[in-house]
Structure 1
Amino acid sequence: MPIACLYFASTGESALPRPLPARALCALALLATLHAFAEPALNVQTSWIGNTFGFGDGSWTQINITALAVAPDGKVYTNAPWDESGAETSVYQNGKMLGFAGGTHGWGQSGGNAIAVNGRYAYVAVGVGNEKGHLVGQGVWPDKGRQWYGISRRQIGDTTRVAAFQPAVNNLDPHAKAAAGFQLVNDVPTGMRGDINGLAASDTTLYASNTSQNRIEVYDAESMQRKSQWSVSAPGRIARAGDGTLWVLTDTRGARPQAAHFAADGQRLKDDLPLPADSVAVDVAVDSQGRVLIADNGPRQQVLFFAKRDGAYALTSTLGERGGIFSGVAGKPGPQRFNGLTGVGVDARGNVYVATNGVGPRFEPTGAGLGATLESYAPDGRRLWQVEGLLFVDGAWMDPARPDSVYTGNKRFELDLSKPAGQQWKYAGFLTNRFRYPDDPVFNTDQWPGLPIARQLKGRTFLFLTDMYADHLKIYRFDGGREGETATPSGFIAGRERAVLKVPNAPKGGDWIWRDANGNGSFDADEFTPNTTGTHLAGGWGWWVDTRGDIWRARDSKGINRFHFGGLDAKGNPIYSYADMTAYPVPPPFSEVKRAIYDPQTDSMYVTGYTPEAPFDRGFWKEVGRVLVRYDEWSSGNPVVRYTLPLPWDTRAKPVSTLIGLTVEGRYVFAVEPVGTVHVYDKNTGTAVGAMQPGPEVGRASGWVDVPNGISASRRNDGEYLVFVEEDARGKVLMYRWKPTANTSASRFSTHTLPRHRRNA
């Protein structure tokens, strides 16, 4: 019997549905079933936000840059521990991505935090693992329980080509060929750090900072044989001056790295840089004039220039507004408004190159920062070009208070839809201020800000962020008059203990609510309310904030919880409490609920999940489920089932065809597959309208949507819909533009099917 034809027996509990006539339900189910895999392709334009390049030509800006090296001709070589599509080591010039090295992602490979070039080679700090012992090969991967850190040598003209310096153990194995150009530096137990955090090269000599071993190691640049070493306290970045001496950042594990000067043989010279007391030096370079450049990731957010005067080095000039993006209108991006400096370099013409990632160097295995930028400045300070890769594991949501304004997890963008695809966005605001609000949970709960829902409550805008695993909900308020673009931590609903262990002053056990009662944006000990209801509320994948401010959470087999919006407190924070919460049982026909989207305007609830006839598959644990039901009169205590809709579910397809997220907007339900295909249903009947897929503007490709809230939609005044989909493969959010025509309706048994497209192709 079709799912929609089932009658639901009353259990006497609140909010259980009463059925529509069986004949009507069966008809709706039949329509949905017939259309599930035969939806017409909708006429959409594919655009995107957050990345300079959309992959239409195969280019994208990587999501993180933690190190750079600049060749005399202005080519910039970058490195980072992680880019979702393998561009950890990339090459840029004149605002274009020229390509990426590859071999730094997957099969145990990872990027790193240092890179250097000479006339023949690029030397790249990398890591090599064994995928928990699954990769086995003598000399190719470390033994089980071990991790390698070292240097991959590549051809300078084509970094995809490994420059071997030792025989390959197997010439037919590409991984063995890569190992022939890998210099092992540290072999450590899994979980220990052994990164190479600084590299510098001449045509004859390579210098490497072995940070964990407190030494500089010196290699022959051609044979890669170690020639010598000398002791330095936690060395980091290295820059080679024109006279052959070396500048090395030391004591990099502490709060105040220093910049020391060494002769080529390791003898320490007596002219260290007089760094300002508040500086946090993260990179060093030397220009053709002999000036030493320091990338300062402290409160100044500047590049500092030191020149020798009367036999000693002195700070002579700077590049960048003092305070960076946090000066003036806090969070407003622009030329010389740096944000989280990670690298600095200079070419033969004196042009300066600056890399930032929103927070500064991070040394976690996959620390992705908060948005990568690479900028070039002329000697007079004019910005020559910029590339941006600003988003990772992120979604987008229209600003309810401003037209053409869009929030992501910790950024704001402005739209101009009159421009061509990919040029319709402008980076307008960075929402996180680590200097003013160091307790911001962005820095202590997960590596990424989270998926946004923006709501206007009592005339004020609030941003609600779910994390990648739907464990907790973060709440932010805005006060543009005092804070600029900054989002102030305002509230937090915690889930499991492990995810919130680093939240300052948090009660043990997780499962608590925090509200910024004194308005200082800090997690003060007296601002936490533990859950004392007796029912543990952690767990579940479905967070939703409705237009009236109520928070809903679908909790698998434990039903649905509703936190009622209790207004604003004296500091402008939204009030939520365990005492003002309603628990709803799992509504028939479900055995597990994965998403619950409530529409206060129609008192309708859209629930997705699994039923006994369409059961949960543990191999697909983030999905919305296999069935959607719309309930009307939800608040009556006796809701009506309007329709039941079987959802796409083919786990044997390549790529898999399931649904990972959904939203309701205007006349439609929008649901997205893990590879970016969006299915559109009429929200009043449940019948299929059509589907959207990535177009040629983005290479007909999408990364894996693997977050529970990775889609949103907004209906514009002219009837056009903007549909945003997380696309974490290449540092952006997809934006589908769709305007239903006057004759747009549910599909009429069309046999037109959409082609499958590539995943991370």
Structure 2
Amino acid sequence: MIRSLFAGALCACVSFITIAGAAAQTPSGGTPLNAQTSWIGNTFGFGDGKWTQINITAIAVAPDGKVYTDAPWDESGAESGVYQDGKMLGYANGTHGWGNGGGNAVAINHRYAFIAVSVWTEKDHLVGKGIWPEKGHKWYGVTRRALDDPQRTAPFQPVANAADPRARLAASLLIVSDVPASSHNEVTGLAASDSVLYVATAALDRVDVYDAESMQRKGSFNAHQPGHLALAPDGSLWVLTDTLSGKAQLVHYSASGQKLDDTLPLPPDSVPADVSVDAQGRVLIADNGPRQQVLFFSKQNGRYAASGTLGERGGIFAGVAGRPGPQRFNGLTGVGVDARGNIYVSTNGIGPTFAPPGTGFGAALGAGLGATLESYTPDGKRRWLVEGLLFVDGAWIDPARPNSVYTGNKRFELDLSKPAGQQWTYVGFLSNRFKYPEDPVFHVDQWPGMPIARQVKGHTFLYLTDMYADHLKIYRFDAARDGETAIPSGYIAGRALRDPSAIPNAPAGGDWIWRDANGDGRFDADEFTRNTTGKRLIGGWGWWVDTGGDIWHTVSSKGIYRFRVGGLDKQGNPIYAYDDMQTYPVPAPFNDAHRAVYDASTDSLYVTGYTDDAPSQPQQWKEVGRVLVRYDKWSSGKPEARYTIKLPWDTNAKPILTIIGLTVEGNYIFAVEPSGVVHVLDKDRGNEIGVIRPGPEVGRASGWIDVANGISAARRSDGEYLIFVEEDARGKVMMYRWKPA
């Protein structure tokens, strides 16, 4: 049954105590605290303006080892980056935002970089003949850039206005498809010589041939759903076909587009994601199937035969599943070779993805699962590696291991004796799409989710809230059988799924609980429980899991709900049920509660939201609210409000001043603004101690905090605090080290 605590009596029994000065507006310009800025998840921290992009879906390798990339989206505009010898050299601008997007193909010759892009009108707000598509339309095409500096456009048609950078971009854009905005005609493959550019469009079943200088179309030939291309030294063309059908094939064409009869003996379970040809004519295939390897094929006696591999068979899922390392690939997207025979491999945690119709930045799954670019010598020794592993992701200290950190689908280990930015090592990828293909990480809301790690009955569980706080995912671990893999264990649904097919057998309309009763990590029809209590739990931004494993859900004006953990079932899943749920009315003075954080050590509940005196502003839909109250003796049935404080809030400030996430740890409350400024408040009194801002290690810059639970903190045994903040701009999570005086 549902137990409603102090229902109808809460307002009468709570006495509000406002500590002197605490009710005043807390200024954003508070006392700076002496904290070290560090980060996890990206090779570069932006201290020198560099970062590894968050997704890579295509690469082209120059003879000197420069690697040119492309992807549909990078939050800070590095859809197309340039890397060499483990360094980011720069990126091609004009591929991001305000009508511009990246793509899934890139090619180079000795003069130019050719990059697949998209251009749209931002719901018809962008208007300009020849610069933007017509109303209701979208362009898919190729932007041509100078090879030595891809930020420099290489126009091949008159520039309407030389002073207008948009006009220069337009003069350098080859429009391959001008289609209604709902159509999906992206460029899926590119290959180039000094004289010819080949452009594949899977949706059109066509490969077009252009003059690489004039960019005039010379002809085309038919190919079924063509994708990535590779130009061989003899002028022939290898084409991945059937790329939209789920089982890509490889076809060899002459330079004029005639299908040749030679083929590669690909293994039957291979899933070719990219193709490249080296100077000797050897064909390399990035196999994103169960092998997770690069396959080599050489011509012998007039036919191609397998001649070797690069990569441990099974990739990151071999041996200890989820353990990264050299040659343990994970979601191959690209392969290339330089003039010295060094091999380059890109991955993004899942493999090639395609943009859904009508969107500007594409299917972002890869951008949430982690981009890597690495180089190997001809004999297979790793030369260098760059990583951009995190996006819309937070971090939480592992409760069983103080130097272990979970993110939405990764694990890192810390060595705090090292310099800032070098204190993390990537040690675990948590999502195994081959063993647990129904894992909602791959199917729901595009990004893995914000982590809370807790121990229940001596076992560690990972709880993930999504970007929009629609649901809570629960994962268990079994290191002996599954290595680093987080096994789908439970799911509490709020709103209805945006894509009803994302979770098999899910009841319509949301408001249900799933638990993996048979332990197979799949959503079987008999494992769902609907909410029949009459208490609708749809909506609300607040999810919290306390140290005992109880789940707290704050649902705006409807109330605060507590799912008490009912132990573990025979499969090791934590048990949560609607008939063992407590419900609390929204406590005074609130009329809308957005967060509720329970501290079991003091039996205190920290509630944030809106009051009659500090009302909600609908445009600030992810913020915690404008008021915070700490209630003591919460479980007694007669809670007492220790203090009431007004949180920073100014919608006219630039950047906007509000609190978008908070957590309670040790002696403090840590609250973060959307701009990344962290406020530290004394937990007992509610007064602000000071603020933490990004330091020079990260260019004094943070991306927007774009989730409802983007901050966590952990007190170490020596009294130091580690504060983790989601930073979605440049592929990392901020880590601040602060030790109170």
Q: State the TM-score bracket (shorter-chain normalisation).
A: over 0.9
Which residue is 1:411 aligned to?
410
Q: 2:309 aligns with which of 299, 313, 318?
A: 318
Q: Give the partner amino acid of 1:480.
A: A
Separation of aligned partners in 2, 1:247 and 1:326: 29
Query: Which of 107, 110, 119 matches 1:119?
Result: 110
Query: Which shifted more, 32-41 or 641-650?
Result: 32-41
Q: Distance in 2 between matches of 1:17 and 1:730?
A: 49
The one of 24, 38, 62 aligned to 1:47: 38
For 2:445 and 2:453, how far apart are their aligned partners in 1?
20
Secondary structure of 1:681 counterpart? strand
2 CA distance for matches of 1:376 and 1:54? Answer: 21
What's the counterpart of residue 603 of structure 1? Answer: 603
How far, CA to CA, are the matches of 2:559 and 2:704 in structure 1?
A: 28
Mapped to 1, the partners of 2:705 and 2:308 lie a distance apart of 46
C-alpha separation in 2, matches of 1:169 and 1:17: 71
CA distance in 1, matches of 2:258, 2:353: 30
Question: 1:183 offset after TM fit, Å?
Answer: 0.5
Match of 2:346 among 323, 343, 355: 355
1:366 paired with 2:362, answer: yes
- Please state if 1:307 is matched with 2:298: yes
- 1:34–1:358 Cα change, 3 Å: closer
- Secondary structure at 1:264's aligned position in 2? coil
The one-letter code sitting in structure 1 at the alignment partner of 2:251 is: A
Match of 1:433 in 2: 432
Letter in 2 for 1:225: Q
Q: Is the 8 A contact 1:676 1:694 kept in 2?
A: yes
The answer for the alignment partner of 2:646 in structure 1 is 646
Which residue does 2:419 correspond to in 1? 420
CA displacement, residues 375-416 of structure 1 (integer Å, 9 cap, x when unaligned): 000001000000000000000000001120000000000000
TM-score norm. by structure 1 comes to 0.94
Taking the TM superposition and a 5 Å limit, the aligned residue runs for 1:53-64 are: 53-64=44-55
Corresponding letter in the other structure for 2:428: G
- Hey, what's the Cα distance between the residues in 1 that align with 2:298 and 2:8? 77
After superposition, the Cα gap between the structure-2 partners of 1:29 and 1:153, relative to the gap in structure 1 and judged at 3 Å, is farther
Deviation, structure 1 residue 34: 6.7
CA distance in 2, matches of 1:167, 1:336: 47
Task: Work out whether residues 414 and 425 of structure 2, in 8 Å CA contact, stay in contact via their aligned partners in 1.
Answer: yes
Residues 182, 632 of structure 1: alpha-carbon distance in 2 compared, 3 angstrom cutoff: same
CA 1:358 to 1:12, structure 2 compared with 1: closer, same or farther past 3 Å? closer
Aligned partner letter, 1:588:
A
Deviation at 1:32, TM superposition (A): 4.9
**8 Å Cα contact 1:154-1:161 kept in structure 2:** yes
Q: Offset of 1:449 from its aligned partner?
A: 0.4
Aligned counterparts, 1:531-542, within 5 A: 531-542=531-542
Corresponding position of 1:662:
662
Give the 5 Å matches for 1:242-641: 242-364=233-355, 365-368=361-364, 369=366, 370-499=369-498, 501=500, 502-641=502-641
The separation in 2 between residues aligned to 1:301 and 1:192, in whole angstroms, is: 32
User: Which runs of structure 2 are paired with 1:634-713 in the superposition (5 Å)?
Assistant: 634-713=634-713
* Alpha carbons of structure 1 residues 335 and 12: separation in structure 2 relative to 1, 3 Å: closer
Please state how far the C-alpha of 1:732 moved relative to its aligned partner. Answer: 0.1
Contact 1:219 1:227 in 2 (8 A): yes
Provide Cα deviations, 1:99-134, integer angstroms capped at 9, x if missing partner.
011100012000000000000000000000000000
Q: Are residues 1:173 and 2:164 paired? A: yes
Q: Cα distance 1:498–1:19, how it changes in 2: closer, same or farther (>3 A)?
A: closer
- 2:396, 2:730 → 1: CA distance? 19
Local SS of the residue matching 1:56: coil
SS at 1:499 equivalent: coil
Q: Under a length normalisation based on structure 2, what TM-score does the superposition of the two structures give?
A: 0.97
1:68 match: secondary structure: strand
Report the alpha carbon displacement of residue 14 of structure 1 after superposing the two structures with TM: 5.0
Asked whether the 8 Å contact 1:100–1:159 carries over to 2, the reply is: yes
Q: Could you say which residue in structure 1 is the equivalent of 2:225?
A: 234
State the match for 2:200 in structure 1: 209
Q: Which deviations, in whole Å up to 9, do the C-alpha atoms of 1:427-446 show, x marking residues without a partner?
A: 00000000000000011112
The one-letter amino acid paired with 2:101 is S
Q: Where does residue 156 of structure 1 map in the other structure? A: 147
1:161 CA drift (Å): 0.7
What secondary structure, in the 3-state scheme, does the structure 2 residue paired with 1:481 have?
Answer: helix
CA distance in 1, matches of 2:10, 2:403: 38
Secondary structure in 1 matching 2:526:
helix
Q: Find the aligned partners of 1:38 and 1:355 in 2 and give their Cα distance.
A: 43
For each residue in 1:300-338, what CA deviation from the matched residue of structure 2 results, as whole angstroms up to 9, or x when unmatched?
Answer: 000000001111101110000000000000000000000
- Give the CA deviation at 1:622: 0.3
What is the rounded CA distance, in whole Å, between the counterparts of 1:642 and 1:606 in structure 2? 10
Counterparts of 2:499 and 2:457 in 1: how far apart (Å)? 30
**Partner in structure 2 of residue 110 of structure 1:** 101
Contact 1:89 1:111 survives alignment (8 Å):
yes
> What's the counterpart of residue 70 of structure 1?
61
Which is worse superposed, 212-221 or 184-193?
Answer: 184-193
* C-alpha spacing 1:514/1:500, structure 2 compared with 1 (3 Å): farther
After alignment, is 498-507 or 444-453 more displaced? 498-507
Post-superposition offset of 1:227? 0.2
Structure 1 Cα separation of the partners of residues 104 and 705 of structure 2: 27
Shift of residue 530, structure 1, vs aligned partner:
1.0
* In 1: Cα distance, 2:129 partner to 2:679 partner: 48
1:744 paired residue number: none
SS for the counterpart of 1:386 is strand
Q: Note closer, same or farther for the CA distance 1:312–1:706 as it changes in structure 2 (3 Å cut).
A: same
In structure 2, distance between residues paired with 1:107 and 1:627: 35
Alpha-carbon separation, structure 2, partners of 1:343 and 1:495:
38
Deviations 1:163-221 (A, max 9, x none): 00011223332111100000001112112211111100000000010211101100000
Mean CA deviation greater in 509-518 or 532-541: 532-541
Deviations 1:324-372 (A, max 9, x none): 0000000000000000000000000000000000000111243331100
Match of 1:177, SS? helix
Q: The residue matched to 1:13 in structure 2 has which SS?
A: coil
- 3-state SS in 1 of match to 2:498: helix
Go from structure 1 to structure 2 and tell me whether the alpha carbon gap of 1:259 and 1:647 turns closer, same or farther (over 3 Å shift): same
Letter in 2 for 1:609: G
User: Residue 26 of structure 2 contacts residue 647 of structure 2 at CA under 8 Å; is this kept in 1?
Assistant: no
Q: Within 2, Cα distance between the matches of 1:12 and 1:540? A: 20
- Residue 4 of structure 2 is aligned to residue 13 of structure 1: no
2: CA distance, partners of 1:266 / 1:11:
77
* Alignment pair present for 1:223 and 2:223: no
Structure 2: which amino acid aligns with 1:392?
F
Summarize the Cα distance change of 1:38–1:701 in structure 2 as closer, same or farther, 3 Å threshold: closer
Query: After superposition, what is the alpha-carbon deviation per residue over 1:594-649, rounded to whole angstroms, capped at 9, x for unaligned?
Result: 10001112110000001000000011110001100000011111100000011001
Return the alpha-carbon distance in structure 1 between the equivalents of residues 298 and 314 of structure 2. Answer: 22
Supply the AA of the counterpart residue of 1:63. Answer: I
Offset from partner CA, 1:742-761 (integer Å, 9 cap, x none)? xxxxxxxxxxxxxxxxxxxx
Matched, 1:128 2:112: no
Conserved 8 A contact 1:32-1:688: no
Which of 136, 148, 152 matches 1:145? 136
| 1:491-541 Cα deviation digits (max 9, x unpaired) | 000111133612111111111100000000000111000111123211000
Gap change, CA 1:123 and 1:34, over 3 Å in 2: closer
Alignment-mate amino acid for residue 476 of structure 1: Y
Distance 1:148 1:543, change over 3 A: same
Deviations 1:678-723 (A, max 9, x none): 0000000101111100000000000000100000000000000000
C-alpha distance in 2 between matches for 1:615 and 1:331: 47
- Asked if the contact 1:36–1:688 (Cα under 8 Å) also holds between the matched residues in 2, the reply is no
